[in-house]
Amino acid sequence: MSVNVRRMACTPEQVFSVLADPWVYPTWVVGASRLRAADDRYPATGSRLHHSIGVWPLVLNDATRVDEWDPPRRMALEARTRPFGTERVIVEVRPRGAGCVVRMEEHAASGPVALIPEPIADAILHIRNRESLRRLEWVARGRAAS
């Protein structure tokens, strides 16, 4: 299981404003190349984002489901990447001074990705999610400035 923690110069509400907007998902999630659609109820529990991953022409279409939505504290997702499997992603946000601390946890839940040795998978996910959290902060701060 990969865990990343980042102190951000924005509030938990600003972070959750980004998480609640499906159309900026490919902006902050490393590997997501486009959003094709989002359920009308997004980000309600059980709703889905219909996205693509990869770089053209090697693009896979799939979906991510919201398993838990508790703003401005916690969001849990099941990200599907067929044919590779599913991943469980948990984002937790805690206020800290004028900003917040965001913790992102991700691990393979099923499929061939679950067969990757944990130290290798964790190293890859750690690098990816470090950049995703950096992007999440940039989007949240950019929205707050406008």
pLDDT digit string (tens) for 7-38?
999 999 999 999 999 999 999 999 999 999 99
pTM of the model: 0.94
Per-residue pLDDT for 119 more than 90? yes
Nearest to 62 by CA among 88, 91, 37, 30: 37
Per the prediction, the chain carries an average pLDDT of: 95
Q: If we measure between CA atoms, which residue out of 13, 64, 8 comes closest to residue 35?
A: 64
Distance (Å, whole) CA 21 – CA 121: 28
Counting every residue, how long is the chain?
146
Residues 30 and 2 sit within 8 Å (Cβ to Cβ):
no
Highest mean pLDDT among 49-63, 85-99, 106-120: 85-99
Average pLDDT, stretch 50-72? 94
Report all structural domains of the chain as residue ranges with CATH numbers, in order of start. Answer: 2-145 (3.30.530.20)
- How many H helices and E strands in the chain? 3, 7
Please name the residue that has the structure tokens 């991510």. 64
Please check the confidence at residue 143 and state whether its pLDDT lies above 80.
Answer: yes
- Going by C-alpha positions, the residue among 107, 103, 78 that lies closest to residue 91 is 103
Instruction: Compute the average pLDDT of residues 125-134.
Output: 97
CA 139 – CA 146 distance, rounded (Å): 11
pLDDT score recorded for residue 37: 97
In this prediction, residue 56 has a pLDDT band, given cuts at 50, 70 and 90, of confident
- Is residue 49's pLDDT more than 90? yes
Percentage of the chain beyond pLDDT 90 is 85
